Protein backbone atom coordinates (compact mmCIF):
# COMPACT_ATOMS: atom_id res chain seq x y z
CA UNK A 1 0.00 0.00 0.00
CA UNK A 2 1.22 3.45 -0.85
CA UNK A 3 0.76 4.59 2.72
CA UNK A 4 2.38 7.97 2.40
CA UNK A 5 0.52 8.74 -0.81
CA UNK A 6 -2.76 7.79 0.80
CA UNK A 7 -2.03 9.97 3.81
CA UNK A 8 -1.19 12.82 1.47
CA UNK A 9 -4.42 12.39 -0.48
CA UNK A 10 -6.46 12.33 2.69
CA UNK A 11 -4.59 15.36 3.99
CA UNK A 12 -5.39 17.28 0.83
CA UNK A 13 -8.99 16.15 0.95
CA UNK A 14 -9.29 17.22 4.55
CA UNK A 15 -7.57 20.50 3.84
CA UNK A 16 -10.00 21.29 1.05
CA UNK A 17 -12.99 20.30 3.14
CA UNK A 18 -13.86 17.78 0.44
CA UNK A 19 -14.71 15.02 2.88
CA UNK A 20 -18.46 14.66 3.16
CA UNK A 21 -20.01 13.93 6.49
CA UNK A 22 -21.85 10.89 5.24
CA UNK A 23 -18.74 8.86 4.46
CA UNK A 24 -16.52 6.88 6.73
CA UNK A 25 -12.95 6.80 5.49
CA UNK A 26 -10.80 4.00 6.79
CA UNK A 27 -7.24 3.23 5.80
CA UNK A 28 -5.30 0.36 7.31
CA UNK A 29 -2.01 -1.34 6.68
CA UNK A 30 -0.91 -4.48 8.51
CA UNK A 31 2.38 -6.25 8.12
CA UNK A 32 3.94 -9.28 9.76
CA UNK A 33 7.25 -10.63 8.58
CA UNK A 34 10.16 -9.25 6.65
CA UNK A 35 10.28 -6.43 4.12
CA UNK A 36 13.50 -5.55 2.36
CA UNK A 37 13.56 -2.69 -0.09
CA UNK A 38 16.68 -1.93 -2.06
CA UNK A 39 16.61 1.00 -4.44
CA UNK A 40 20.12 1.71 -5.75
CA UNK A 41 18.80 4.47 -7.94
CA UNK A 42 17.29 6.22 -4.94
CA UNK A 43 20.19 8.03 -3.35
CA UNK A 44 18.03 9.36 -0.56
CA UNK A 45 16.90 5.95 0.70
CA UNK A 46 18.77 3.10 -0.94
CA UNK A 47 17.79 0.46 1.63
CA UNK A 48 14.88 -0.14 3.95
CA UNK A 49 14.60 -3.26 6.10
CA UNK A 50 11.58 -3.95 8.26
CA UNK A 51 11.32 -7.13 10.29
CA UNK A 52 8.47 -7.68 12.69
CA UNK A 53 4.97 -6.37 13.07
CA UNK A 54 3.58 -3.10 11.84
CA UNK A 55 0.07 -1.76 11.71
CA UNK A 56 -1.16 1.65 10.73
CA UNK A 57 -4.68 2.97 10.85
CA UNK A 58 -5.97 6.26 9.56
CA UNK A 59 -9.66 6.98 9.71
CA UNK A 60 -12.07 9.86 9.44
CA UNK A 61 -15.29 8.85 11.14
CA UNK A 62 -18.09 11.39 10.97
CA UNK A 63 -20.71 11.71 13.65
CA UNK A 64 -24.16 10.40 12.84
CA UNK A 65 -25.94 13.75 12.60
CA UNK A 66 -23.00 15.72 11.27
CA UNK A 67 -24.44 16.12 7.77
CA UNK A 68 -27.46 17.96 9.14
CA UNK A 69 -25.18 20.80 10.14
CA UNK A 70 -24.62 21.92 6.56
CA UNK A 71 -28.18 23.09 5.95
CA UNK A 72 -28.46 25.63 8.76
CA UNK A 73 -26.74 26.78 11.89
CA UNK A 74 -27.42 24.40 14.72
CA UNK A 75 -27.92 25.38 18.34
CA UNK A 76 -24.91 25.07 20.59
CA UNK A 77 -26.34 22.08 22.38
CA UNK A 78 -27.12 20.25 19.16
CA UNK A 79 -26.41 16.55 19.55
CA UNK A 80 -24.22 15.34 16.73
CA UNK A 81 -24.36 11.80 18.07
CA UNK A 82 -21.72 9.16 18.28
CA UNK A 83 -19.39 8.49 15.36
CA UNK A 84 -20.44 5.90 12.82
CA UNK A 85 -19.79 2.39 14.05
CA UNK A 86 -16.66 0.62 12.92
CA UNK A 87 -14.64 -2.33 14.19
CA UNK A 88 -11.30 -3.40 12.84
CA UNK A 89 -9.39 -6.25 14.41
CA UNK A 90 -6.09 -7.86 13.54
CA UNK A 91 -4.76 -10.93 15.27
CA UNK A 92 -1.66 -12.91 14.49
CA UNK A 93 0.20 -15.78 16.04
CA UNK A 94 3.66 -16.27 14.66
CA UNK A 95 6.16 -18.99 15.45
CA UNK A 96 9.64 -19.67 14.16
CA UNK A 97 9.04 -23.34 13.43
CA UNK A 98 5.30 -23.71 13.77
CA UNK A 99 2.18 -22.62 12.00
CA UNK A 100 1.45 -18.97 11.55
CA UNK A 101 -2.06 -17.64 12.04
CA UNK A 102 -3.42 -14.32 10.86
CA UNK A 103 -6.99 -13.24 11.49
CA UNK A 104 -8.51 -9.97 10.41
CA UNK A 105 -11.96 -8.57 10.92
CA UNK A 106 -13.52 -5.38 9.67
CA UNK A 107 -17.10 -4.23 10.09
CA UNK A 108 -19.00 -0.98 9.90
CA UNK A 109 -22.49 0.25 10.69
CA UNK A 110 -25.02 -2.16 12.03
CA UNK A 111 -22.71 -5.10 11.40
CA UNK A 112 -20.20 -3.56 13.78
CA UNK A 113 -22.82 -2.80 16.41
CA UNK A 114 -24.27 -6.27 16.12
CA UNK A 115 -20.81 -7.73 16.50
CA UNK A 116 -20.22 -5.60 19.57
CA UNK A 117 -23.51 -6.81 21.03
CA UNK A 118 -22.54 -10.43 20.54
CA UNK A 119 -20.54 -11.55 23.53
CA UNK A 120 -19.09 -14.56 21.77
CA UNK A 121 -18.05 -12.48 18.79
CA UNK A 122 -16.27 -10.00 21.05
CA UNK A 123 -14.49 -12.82 22.83
CA UNK A 124 -13.38 -14.12 19.46
CA UNK A 125 -11.94 -10.74 18.60
CA UNK A 126 -10.38 -9.94 21.94
CA UNK A 127 -9.13 -13.27 23.24
CA UNK A 128 -5.73 -14.69 22.33
CA UNK A 129 -5.59 -16.50 19.01
CA UNK A 130 -5.06 -19.88 20.60
CA UNK A 131 -8.45 -19.70 22.26
CA UNK A 132 -10.52 -18.98 19.18
CA UNK A 133 -13.21 -21.35 18.13
CA UNK A 134 -12.90 -23.06 14.75
Name which of residues 6 to 45 contact another protein (CB under 8 A): 7-8, 10-11, 14-17, 19, 21, 32, 43-45
Neighbours of 80 (CB within 10 A): 15
Give yes or no for a contact between 88 and 58, defined as CB atoms under 8 angstroms apart. no
Q: How far is the CB of 101 from another protein (least distance, A)?
A: 9
59 binds another protein (CB under 8 A): yes
Sign of CA dihedral 42, 43, 47, 48: negative
**Binding marks (x or -) toward another protein, 74..93, rule CB under 8 A?**
--xxxxxxxxxxxxxxxxxx
CB nearer to another protein: pick between 44 and 134 = 44
Amino acid sequence: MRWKAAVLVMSLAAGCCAIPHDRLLFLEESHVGLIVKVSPSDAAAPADVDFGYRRSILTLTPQKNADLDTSAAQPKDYDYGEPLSVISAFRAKVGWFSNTEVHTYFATGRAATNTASDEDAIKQLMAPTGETKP
